[in-house]
Structure 1
Amino acid sequence: MNILIVEDEARIAKRIERMTRTIFGSALQSITLSSSFQEALHYIENNVLDFVLLDLNLNGENGFDLLTTSVSKSFHTIIISANKDQAITAFEYGVLDFVPKPFNQERLEQAFNRATTKETSEGHELKLLAIKKRGRVQLVPIEELLYIKGAGTYTELFLKNGTKELHDKSLEKLEQLLSRTFIRIHKSYLVKISEVKEIIVKSGSKYWAELKNGELIPIGRTKYKILKERWL
């Protein structure tokens, strides 16, 4: 694991670091502390990461300025903040979890576990996906998204207007964030459940999901039953 902690209070940053080292043990490859957004942004742009632990208020700067860049990347972002009133907005932007201060090691470990258990935070739903486009970060409303196709370590987002956008997160990571409204129907596809018009069974036990716009998406044999149960 490669982890970046963005926190301006040295005492809290060291406490997060100590807890993180205890949680991951020998699985932790590197852990870096940053006390400013500019320093953190430079590190994010030049290093491979698995998690960023981000405070939303560093020396009076607005953490959402960094958050939009952070959530567009391949890694997961966890917010650690005393500003509980910003939790809903943070989840809408696509953070993995929001850990309110004060917190203990058990709560921090729960946040990390969301990356593997697909556990969702009750009452919170992703509303935006941040993508990098022409060197800038653009926010795509989830309501405009039809389905997502895996493309190696990246994903392709297919929108209602017929356009396609590239996202740095893998299909597995997006599945962890979108499990409330999307379903994995194939090893290469995530589909918005509300956009499925019909499930088609063809000869040779081949299954297809017909979307409301007429597109056909393949359904894996092991995913057919799961889709049918959630779709009906």
Structure 2
Amino acid sequence: MLRAIIIDDEPRGRSILQQLLALHAPQLNIVGIASNADEGLQIIDTHKPDIVFLDVEMPGKSGFELLRELNTIDFKVVFVSAHNHYSLKAIKFHAFDYLLKPIDLDELKQTIEKLLRSSQAHTHNQFTELLTASRTGNTDLGKIAISSLSSIDLINVDDILYCEASANNTLVYLTNNKKIVATKNLKEYEDLLLSHRFFRIHHAYLVNLKHVARYIKGEGGSVILSNQKELEVSRRKKQEFLNALQN
């Protein structure tokens, strides 16, 4: 059984998460609950958790400041926050996962499934990156952590050709002909990759503009990527896309 800790300054937030985990994650044993960062540090030191559900904004010290005080991070961090600001989303590149309050049960179940199936090797690499980013303030390492049901892959952003919507998942196509079935929806990857010159050309496609080799004119038209893959551009997105290509 995995040992878990909840650190959240809101009593209701702590209570709801504890109840949801008790109902839907019997494999997790909640060994400690803290209402602030200092209490959290003590509980982490005492219980040596496998997983920490960590609120971001707390009085006194934030969740990020808590992490900076640790010499090593040998547990998985799932950030939990009511805020969906881009700077916080960027932390998803380095944390195991990020849950937005109010917590969606399906998203929590996906997180739990990933927690149970992830390997220790991936965990170690993931949190070496997290510790570095936390201490330097650099949350953009040119990589993104893409979570599937069986693993977390740290991928160079420039190696992503395009992303395709697939129900609640996203198919991520890479330059090495590899495809990852990611457990986040396309909108989340659109938000995360916006600053890396990705563009949503269609409700189903998010493309890396660095890999657009050609545009074929038409009502909406289509693009040819560097791997010769052709994708449709929606009529509604056409002009905005052409403007983005020229910037």
Q: TM-score, normalised by structure 2?
A: 0.54
Name the amino acid aligned to 1:195.
H
Alignment check: 8 A CA contact 1:72 1:167 kept: no
Deviation at 1:132, TM superposition (A): 3.8
Please state which structure has a larger fraction of its residues in strand. 1
Deviation at 1:138, TM superposition (A): 2.3
Distance 2:147 2:230 in 1: 28
Name the amino acid aligned to 2:140.
F
- Superposed, 1:24-35 pairs within 5 Å as 30=16, 35=40
What is the Cα-based RMSD across aligned positions, in Å? 4.0
Distance 2:166 2:93 in 1: 21
Deviation at 1:84, TM superposition (A): 6.5
Partner of 1:91: 140
Q: TM-score, normalised by structure 1?
A: 0.57
Unaligned residue ranges in structure 2 (runs of 5+):
19-32, 35-39, 57-62, 79-91, 101-130
Deviation at 1:147, TM superposition (A): 0.5
Deviation at 1:62, TM superposition (A): 2.3
Distance 1:172 1:225 in 2: 20
Partner of 2:182: 167
Which structure has more relative contact order (CA 8 Å, sep 6+)? It is: 1
Aligned length: 167
2:227 is paired with a residue whose SS is: coil
Name the amino acid aligned to 1:194.
K
Pairing 1:189–2:202 present = no
Distance 2:204 2:15 in 1: 29
Alignment check: 8 A CA contact 1:69 1:137 kept: no
Partner of 1:222: 236
From 45, 48, 73, the equivalent of 1:62 is 73
- Superposed, 1:28-177 pairs within 5 Å as 30=16, 35=40, 36=44, 39=49, 41=51, 53=56, 54-55=63-64, 56-57=67-68, 59-62=70-73, 66=77, 71=95, 73=97, 75=99, 85-88=135-138, 90-92=139-141, 127-132=142-147, 135-177=150-192
Alignment check: 8 A CA contact 1:52 1:75 kept: no
Alignment check: 8 A CA contact 1:145 1:158 kept: yes
2:176 is paired with a residue whose SS is: coil
Alignment check: 8 A CA contact 1:72 1:129 kept: no
Name the amino acid aligned to 2:237.
K
Unaligned residue ranges in structure 1 (runs of 5+):
8-12, 22-27, 45-50, 93-126
Q: Which moved more, 1:145-154 or 1:66-75?
A: 66-75
Cα 1:72/1:85, change in 2 over 3 Å: closer
Distance 2:146 2:183 in 1: 8
Percent identity of the aligned residues? 19
Distance 1:87 1:174 in 2: 22
Distance 1:169 1:190 in 2: 13
Alignment check: 8 A CA contact 1:148 1:191 kept: yes
Distance 2:70 2:95 in 1: 21
